[in-house]
Structure 1
Amino acid sequence: MENTNKTILVLWDFSPKAECAFAHAVNFAQATGVDITLLHVVKGDKDVEPAEKKLGEIAEKLSAQANISVHVQVIKGSIFKSISSYASHSHVEMVVMATHGVKGIQRFTGSWAIKVIRGSKVPFLVVQDMPQGKKYDNILFPVDFKKENIEKIKWAHFLYNLYKGRIYVVHPRVSDQSFKKRIYSNMVFTKKYFDNTDIPYTIDTIGKDLAKDTVEYAKKVQANLILIALSKTLTFADYLMRPAEQDIIANDAKIPVMVISPKPKQLSGGFSATGN
């Protein structure tokens, strides 16, 4: 039966990596008081019932271990369309999924993680390993020239409300005057917002390679989460060129990455970004 309560959706493919996603979901569920739902995608009708049975057994075990309500949902379709559609039209507050990083042919056709996330109205937390702790309080907030940077500020506020800590704001060094002006505008907006909400933050400049230098800085400050936003204009050509978002998501430090799609869903309940 479908869960009608607010929930954190965990993509479950019966791999050990899915257990990493569940562990991160537990951290957020305990902090916000919402349930967890395991979601598995199948290709045909005949696969639904066996998957539900297998998933139900796993959910029962995980629920007992974590002392959290764990529901199950099996849907039919393509992972690149059905997951974001289900998340956007259900009571889902956040999706947690594990990735093995970018490898093989995906280096040329783009990270499947980005393809799954595109179009979602809720944020995705993409993880590669088990959590290092219970909190996400050392947050790296890269700012570039894209206007989508503004849309992730509310989520930085949400995370601060949950865990306190500090936001590390970084921006790349650029020579193009147009990009420089747009980065400056985004930085002014970000600084003003954090000043008005009394969120502790630092600002620093990184190198020209946004993905590489963001990850290196994250290692330096021991960030336990990187917060990024996808561009509205990400095209197939961008996938071929390996967008910065792809390399940040698949970072070699295996730092969790929260990914916001443009115009995310309004937060509610335990996921209030403003604390109201």
Structure 2
Amino acid sequence: MQNKLDPEYIMNILKKCISLKNNRSITESKVVLNLYMDFLKLRIVPKKDSAREVFTSFVDRPLSAKLHGKLETWIEVGLDANPDNKEELLKKIDLVEDFNQTNIDIEKDKKQAEIIKNETKSVQTLVEETVVDEIPEDNGTSELFGDDEIPGGIVRELTDPIIVPWDFSEVADYALQHALLYAPILGGQIYLLNIAKKEKKIGSITAKLEKIADKTFNKHGIRPEVLVKTGNIFSTISEIANNNLAKMVIMGTHGIKGMQKLTGSWALKVIAGTNTPFVVVQEPPANREIKNIIFPVNHSKENKQKLKQARLLAKHYELNFILVIAKDVSNVQFKRSLKTNLNYIKSFFRQHNVMHEVKIIEGTDNSAEATLQYMANNRADLVMVLTTKNINIQDYVLGADEQKIIANPQKIPVMVINPKKVIFSSYGGFGGSQ
């Protein structure tokens, strides 16, 4: 049996109250609904203007995932601060549930009466009619398709390409194998991208890549496009990914040493400088489908921005997101922000019918360490991490924690996502060359 004093349960009762209050077909007195909502606002939610404002805003916009997450956090804070209110709150919840059940029974009776009425009318019509009406012509629409799903419509995300940087290495082939699994599901053409050091080598490299593309088609039935450009490997990959609105860049690497050799601190910033998520892989795909995704949750404001990519993947796969959090966060503000983020993310997933679960890792206050601990004991198909803000140089970079997750010894693929509003005016200032 679900705990009725769980903040999530309390929020669901509140949403039910709002729905019932706005249902004009209900003629019974709605006093019990007002009693619950007033008790929640005046006795449970902390007596702070910001908390009360969130409550009022949520009542006006109960579908807002952001407000849901904030209010759920405030309710949790209020229950912890005033445990004596719990008994009375339970009574109010029971009253709302009784009211709801009564109206469900009334609606059932109404529907049953309507069915009997329609059946009687149908029998009378059959007796009286002597002419069978013609079947109406199809008007070209179907209830099987929503407005955005009618065949022939183009969803732009389905056409966005998948880029695989290609240096003729074994790990590049691993990346291609992953791309071959993503492309049929997510859509989009695969591009094998090679950055040539000199213009005169473009012809010979292109010929080699064409052979690889042909071989790939013969084996998998999918032929990648070939793209050879001159330039710096990291800035050029970033430029091409952004200019072509790539769905993702899938890149192979050799663990932590490979990350240092292949990318280094400058190139990690270039990965963060793209508008495109990078999927970094260390081995061929372990499974043909993505099912379980580790989704670290911390206190940062940017943390919620992973949800856009999460929802995109959830449209095409039956996914379960594992929300990993560190238990021993001692900073009060960080702890509150963590709860707000977690509640927001849970609300978002519930709103979009996405399976998810929360894993609380003891013994650490660090999100990356908690994630690595979970990864060490639980196999997943993908991990989603964000680039993080470095306040010293005012940009977004991949820090040491993210590098450890990317180069995890379990070799689980990692999707690196860049937060919004990240602009690099120049790549040259970061140093390093290839």
Q: Same fold (TM over 0.5)?
A: yes
Corresponding position: 1:16 with 2:170: yes
- Pairing partner for 2:404 from 231, 238, 247: 247
Corresponding position: 1:197 with 2:352: yes
Supply the distance in 1 between the matched residues of 2:289 and 2:316 (Cα, whole angstroms).
8
Q: Which residue of 2 aligns with 1:228?
A: 385
Q: Which residue of 1 aligns with 2:342?
A: 187
Identity across matched positions, percent: 39
The change in CA–CA distance for 1:105 and 1:253 in structure 2 (over 3 A counts) is: closer
Q: Which residue of 2 aligns with 1:216?
A: 373
Q: Which residue of 1 aligns with 2:191?
A: 37
Supply the distance in 1 between the matched residues of 2:259 and 2:352 (Cα, whole angstroms).
44
Deviation at 1:126, TM superposition (A): 0.7
Q: Deviations over 1:146-181 (max 9, x none)?
A: 222111112112222222131100112311222222
Supply the distance in 1 between the matched residues of 2:319 and 2:260 (Cα, whole angstroms).
35
Deviation at 1:244, TM superposition (A): 1.2
* TM-score where L is the length of structure 2: 0.55
| Paired letter, 1:134 | R
Supply the distance in 2 between the matched residues of 1:123 and 1:237 (Cα, whole angstroms).
20
Q: Is the 8 A contact 2:384 2:414 kept in 1?
A: yes
Give runs of ≥4 in structure 1 deviating > 4 Å.
Answer: 109-113, 234-242
Which residues of structure 2 form unaligned runs of 5+? Answer: 1-158, 422-434
Q: Which residue of 1 aligns with 2:49?
A: none
Q: Deviations over 1:218-275 (max 9, x none)?
A: 34332111011112437679999952111111111000011111129xxxxxxxxxxx
The change in CA–CA distance for 1:161 and 1:98 in structure 2 (over 3 A counts) is: same
SS class of match (1:103): helix
Moved more, 52-61 or 12-21: 52-61
**Larger radius of gyration between Structure 1 and Structure 2:** 2
Q: Is the 8 A contact 2:238 2:273 kept in 1?
A: yes
Q: Is the 8 A contact 2:206 2:226 kept in 1?
A: yes
Q: Which residue of 2 aligns with 1:67?
A: 221
Q: Is the 8 A contact 2:282 2:411 kept in 1?
A: yes
Supply the distance in 2 between the matched residues of 1:52 and 1:32 (Cα, whole angstroms).
26
Q: Which residue of 2 aligns with 1:178?
A: 333
Mapping of 1:1-276 within 5 angstroms? 6-103=160-257, 106=260, 110=264, 114-172=268-326, 173-206=328-361, 207-233=364-390, 242-263=399-420
Moved more, 179-188 or 241-250: 241-250
Supply the distance in 1 between the matched residues of 2:302 and 2:277 (Cα, whole angstroms).
13
What's the Cα RMSD here?
2.8
Question: RCO (CA 8 Å, sep 6+): is it higher in 1 or 2?
Answer: 1
Supply the distance in 1 between the matched residues of 2:238 and 2:193 (Cα, whole angstroms).
11
Q: Is the 8 A contact 1:8 1:95 kept in 2?
A: yes
Deviation at 1:216, TM superposition (A): 2.6
SS class of match (2:354): coil
Q: Is the 8 A contact 2:162 2:188 kept in 1?
A: yes
SS class of match (1:144): coil
SS class of match (1:258): strand
Supply the distance in 2 between the matched residues of 1:13 and 1:114 (Cα, whole angstroms).
18
Task: Answer 1 or 2: which has greater helix percent.
Answer: 2
| Paired letter, 1:176 | N
Moved more, 112-121 or 164-173: 112-121
SS class of match (1:122): coil
| Paired letter, 2:416 | V
Q: Deviations over 1:69-118 (max 9, x none)?
A: 310101111122111111000142111000112228939x9467624412
Which residues of structure 1 form unaligned runs of 5+? Answer: 265-276
Q: Is the 8 A contact 1:110 1:240 kept in 2?
A: no
Aligned length: 260
Supply the distance in 2 between the matched residues of 1:41 and 1:234 (Cα, whole angstroms).
32
Deviation at 1:208, TM superposition (A): 2.6
Q: Is the 8 A contact 2:387 2:398 kept in 1?
A: no
